[in-house]
A and B are shown apart, each in its own frame.
Chain A
Amino acid sequence: MCGAKKGGLSLDGVDVAKEAIIQGQVVRDGEPVGNAYVRLLDRTGEFTAEVPTSATGHFRFFAGEGKWTLRTLAPRVEPVDKLVHASVGDVAEVTIPI
């Protein structure tokens, strides 16, 4: 899958076979949200990482094998939690409507 492109976020230069990738897009009424923050929480709810979304609402984490929670913060909305399962060699593609 070299050069594969999923969900609009390029995987060029990423060795997908070695990574457990979680990526996706934050949207509001179908439009990308470029000023959101996505937090990656582990199976115990412990904070692991956080990224701001790009101008096109995209985010990506290099996580580990297992269950994770994505907590999305954005202006004028309550935080949105979404459970996701990551596997090495796979790309967990997530759309988060807020």
Chain B
Amino acid sequence: MTRENALVTAQWVEDNLDTPGIVLVEVDEDTTAYDKGHIKGAVKLDWSTELQDQVRRDFVNKQQFEELLSGKGIGNDDTVVLYGGNNNWFAAYAYWYFKLYGHQDVKLLDGGRKKWELDSRELTDEVPSRETTSYTAQEQDHSIRAFRDETVEAIGTKNLVDVRSPDEYAGRLLAPAHLPQEMAQRAGHIPTAANVPWSKAANDDGTFKSDDELKQIYSDAGVDWSKDTIAYCRIGERSSHTWFVLHELLGQQNVKNYDGSWTEYGSLVGVPVVLGDEKGEA
């Protein structure tokens, strides 16, 4: 995967608003943002109610995902262009999720909703009606999803990239300042994990930095490009942003997103945890 395949510009989206076979999908942390205005033709995806199992902590299953996309009017052959607020955090999460269930043609709008708004491009409150499809998903592709045991085994052997803020990494905070301080039982980070906050990869307007700049950032943080990589954050959405950078923009092989992330790891019994700004030993 390369930048050209995975990312589209706001201008490209504007030029293709009426192109058949392209479906815009908005995914926001603030799930009411879409209702206040969205890009013409875009359908809404609610990450908290539609992409999460409402009983267990897990994703919706294959059949539920098929029903979801069919109901949204998204077909297997459609080009899905995802965008959202908060610098595309949840749009990147949905991108990874679509890939997890094997959708072939997915793209991210560079800069997301913010870039679109800063460009003074048009938003509408008109909700499109799309004909129901009969979507067929693939089994989950676990080559891009890490679970807890694999993450524990990766300590000292694979690249672990903690994309949370420095204060969360060091254990001074359990959640980003400004958001509710909740979830994990313990603060800190996984031993040997490099701290590369997701925001390092983005410009102020939410667009991604150049490939050369991105490579430099992760190299400086000690990422060994010859090794497999697992990215994590608190609940797996910011690390989807980093997974997108490493796997989709830079074309790095064997990059997984650990969606259990710190809310799971920081509540596990018996696993090693490091406090402070240093990576710690395996």
Contact = CB atoms under 8 A, between A and B. Distances in A.
Interface of A: 35, 37, 39-40, 42, 44, 46-50, 52, 61-64, 71, 73-76, 79
A71 B204 contact: yes
A37 B118 CA distance: 9
B177 A64 contact: yes
Contacts of A62: 177-178
A75 B116 CA distance: 10
Contacts of A49: 176-179
B117 A47 contact: no
Contacts of A63: 177-178
B204 A48 contact: no
B179 A46 contact: no
A46 B178 contact: no
Candidate in A48, A49, A62, A79 with the most chain B CB atoms within 10 angstroms: A48
B119 interface: yes
Interface in B59-93: 85-87
Contact of B178 (A40, A75, A79): A40
Candidate in B85, B117, B177 with the most chain A CB atoms within 10 angstroms: B177
Nearest to A48: B177
A48 B176 contact: yes
B205 interface: yes
A39 B117 CA distance: 15
Contacts of A39: 204
A60 B119 CA distance: 24
A46 B177 contact: no
A79 B204 contact: yes
Given A49-B179, A50-B86, A76 B120 contact: yes
25 contacts: A35-B117, A37-B114, A37-B117, A39-B204, A40-B177, A40-B178, A42-B167, A42-B177, A44-B166, A46-B165, A47-B165, A48-B165, A49-B177, A49-B178, A49-B179, A50-B87, A52-B33, A52-B114, A52-B117, A62-B178, A63-B178, A71-B204, A73-B204, A74-B118, A75-B119
Nearest to B87: A50
Contacts of B197: 46-47
Interface in B75-128: 85-87, 114, 117-120
B31 interface: no
Contacts of A48: 165, 176-178
A46 B199 contact: yes
A63 to B, nearest CB: 6
Interface in B152-197: 165-167, 176-179, 197
B215 to A, nearest CB: 20
A75 B204 contact: no
Candidate in B87, B117, B178, B205 with the most chain A CB atoms within 10 angstroms: B178
Nearest to A74: B118
A10 B178 CA distance: 18
Given A37-B114, A42-B177, 12 more contacts: A35-B117, A44-B166, A47-B165, A48-B178, A50-B87, A52-B114, A62-B178, A63-B178, A64-B177, A71-B204, A73-B114, A75-B119
A69 to B, nearest CB: 12
A61 B85 contact: no
B185 to A, nearest CB: 22
Contacts of B179: 49
